[in-house]
Amino acid sequence: DDFEGHGVWRYADALPFAEGVSIQEGATPLYEVPRLEESIGVETLRIKHEGMNPTGSFKDRGMTVGVRVAKELGVGRLACASTGNTSAALAAYGSRGGMETLVLLPAGKVAAGKIAQASLHGARILEVDGNFDACLDIVQELAAKGEAYLLNSLNPFRLEGQKTIGLEILEGFLADYDAVPDRIVLPVGNAGNTSALYKAFRELVQAGELDEDDVPKLTGVQAEGAAPMVEAIENGADEVRRWDDVETRATAIRIGNPVNAPKALPGIRETGGTAVAVSDEEITEAQRDIAGEGIGVEPASAASIAGLRKLRAEGVVDDDERVACLTTGHLLKDPDAAAAAGSEPEPVPADTAGVLASIASERSSE
Ligand code: F0G
């Protein structure tokens, strides 16, 4: 159709099909952020804002491929466990493909915008009395019983679509700087993106299109309260220990059992990257910093900036590096977090004199 070859599907050569169930995903902005670049102290910083996808997160890139496969297979019901964004994308792409969708969410731990999307796009929403990892255990069992087609990032076709994030970043840097980035910093939950980007780069190296030494250092960021990958990287462990109790304001990455860890750990290690944990306060501060450049992201996304700032301060990241930070979801996904991080509206009387008096007075801090 008209959208053939747009966004994700511009990279059809790197994908299993030439087209998918599409809502024009991909081709997201790679923003310049000069003030952040200077305050963090790196040579170049660009923000790849995946919040600018059709449903407001990078999940759309995976769903356009995954739902296409499901349609091809003729499955009746699509399902996922989700901290929110996957459920929103599944609901939208499933309904576009004309399929029934079922989502399992951790009760009370999913941001309002995401539930609203899943709901309006017609997903059947089950709120589980447990965390995301428990939801994913259940959905895997449902899939094994043939009750549904699984569209979490365990599904390899999802990750094929998400490879295009890496391809777009490389292309953008090559166009603007004639060089690929030294480092890509990204938030980590289930470690799907980490795995997908690593696969994309390996394929480019194998095809002779990217020098092995030029592969960007994959640098993962987790919230302190949900940091099993960071623990494994710091301990040099081959396996990730499942955390049963997780907590963070960045609910999208409130995950204790990153299922793609076996693929993501080598990706971080072999590219010379690292992983770092940040506090909820650092995440909120970073969300404000990015907002100060006019870019609205949800808390999990701001973790990438918080992590970069921390690694730069520790000297792990050098001042001469060219860095891309991935922001994975839009600010409006989690309006409550945004409102809490921003300033309070000030009540005023309905007359100009009252408004003028308010403007003249000290602005109340949050
Ligand atoms: N950022 C956002 C906004 C997310 O929604 C997620 C994952 C991640 C980062 C982590 O990405 O799994 O590739 O390491 N959200 C999933 C969901 C778990 O259900 O929406 P990852």
Last residue of a domain, one of 93, 128, 150: 150
| Neighbour count for residue 343 (Cβ, 10 Å) | 10
pTM above 0.90, yes or no: yes
Edge to edge, the sheet with strand 44-49 lists 30-32, 44-49, 322-327, 183-187, 217-223, 274-278
Cα→Cα distances 245→59, 134, 211, 264, Å: 25, 11, 41, 22
Nearest to 183 by CA among 48, 344, 84, 361: 48
Q: What ligand 1 atom has the least distance to the C-alpha of 82? A: 19
CATH number of the domain within which 220 lies: 3.40.50.1100
Is residue 266 in some structural domain? yes
Last residue of a domain, one of 124, 150, 176: 150
Is residue 354 in some structural domain? no
Q: Cα(44) to centroid of ligand 1, in Å?
A: 25
Residue whose pair of structure tokens reads 């993501």 in the numeric block: 264
Residues of the chain with pLDDT > 70, as a percent, come to 98
Is the same domain home to 114 and 247? no
Q: Cα(301) to centroid of ligand 1, in Å?
A: 9
Is the same domain home to 93 and 27? no
Q: Cα(191) to centroid of ligand 1, in Å?
A: 8
Work out the pLDDT band at 363, boundaries 50, 70, 90.
Answer: confident
Task: Give the count of alpha carbons within 13 A of 346, CB side only.
Answer: 15
The residue contributing the CA closest to ligand 1 atom 12 is 190
Last residue of a domain, one of 150, 172, 194: 150
Q: Cα(322) to centroid of ligand 1, in Å?
A: 24
Q: Cα(2) to centroid of ligand 1, in Å?
A: 30
Cα→Cα distances 287→92, 304, 353, Å: 27, 10, 35
Q: What ligand 1 atom has the least distance to the C-alpha of 86? A: 20
Q: What ligand 1 atom has the least distance to the C-alpha of 264? A: 14
Is the same domain home to 138 and 227? no
Indicate the top mutation candidate among 253, 268, 290, 330 to test ligand 1's pocket, ranked by most ligand atoms within 8 A of CB. Answer: 253
Is residue 364 in some structural domain? no
Q: What ligand 1 atom has the least distance to the C-alpha of 196? A: 13
Indicate the top mutation candidate among 47, 63, 85 to test ligand 1's pocket, ranked by most ligand atoms within 8 A of CB. Answer: 85
Ligand 1 cavity residues, CB under 6 Å: 57, 82-86, 153, 187-193, 252-253, 298, 300-301, 328-329
Query: What pLDDT does 169 receive?
Result: 98
Is residue 348 in some structural domain? no
Is the same domain home to 99 and 234? no
Q: Cα(91) to centroid of ligand 1, in Å?
A: 16
- ipTM, 2 decimals? 0.99
Is residue 234 in some structural domain? yes
Q: What ligand 1 atom has the least distance to the C-alpha of 50? A: 3
Is the same domain home to 133 and 246? no
Q: Cα(246) to centroid of ligand 1, in Å?
A: 15
Is the same domain home to 130 and 268? no
**pLDDT tens for each residue of 251-285:** 999 999 999 999 999 999 999 999 999 999 999 99
Is the same domain home to 263 and 200? yes
**Do residues 23 and 65 make contact, with C-beta atoms less than 8 angstroms apart?**
no
Is the same domain home to 193 and 254? yes
Q: Cα(253) to centroid of ligand 1, in Å?
A: 6
Is the same domain home to 211 and 316? yes
Is residue 347 in some structural domain? no
Q: Cα(72) to centroid of ligand 1, in Å?
A: 26
Work out the pLDDT band at 224, boundaries 50, 70, 90.
Answer: very high
Indicate the top mutation candidate among 190, 229, 251, 283 to test ligand 1's pocket, ranked by most ligand atoms within 8 A of CB. Answer: 190
Indicate the top mutation candidate among 59, 328, 334 to test ligand 1's pocket, ranked by most ligand atoms within 8 A of CB. Answer: 328
Q: Cα(220) to centroid of ligand 1, in Å?
A: 12
- Total structural domains in the chain? 2
Please give the mean pLDDT across all residues of the chain: 97
Does residue 3 register a pLDDT over 90? no
Range of the domain at 68: 59-150
Query: What pLDDT does 366 receive?
Result: 46
Is the same domain home to 52 and 63? no
Is residue 37 in some structural domain? yes
Is the same domain home to 172 and 111? no
Is the same domain home to 210 and 121? no
Q: Cα(73) to centroid of ligand 1, in Å?
A: 26
Is residue 352 in some structural domain? no
**Do residues 45 and 293 make contact, with C-beta atoms less than 8 angstroms apart?**
no
Task: Give the count of alpha carbons within 13 A of 284, CB side only.
Answer: 13
Distance of alpha carbon 111 from the chain centroid: 14
**pLDDT tens for each residue of 153-192:** 999 999 999 999 999 999 999 999 999 999 999 999 999 9
**pLDDT tens for each residue of 325-337:** 999 999 999 999 9
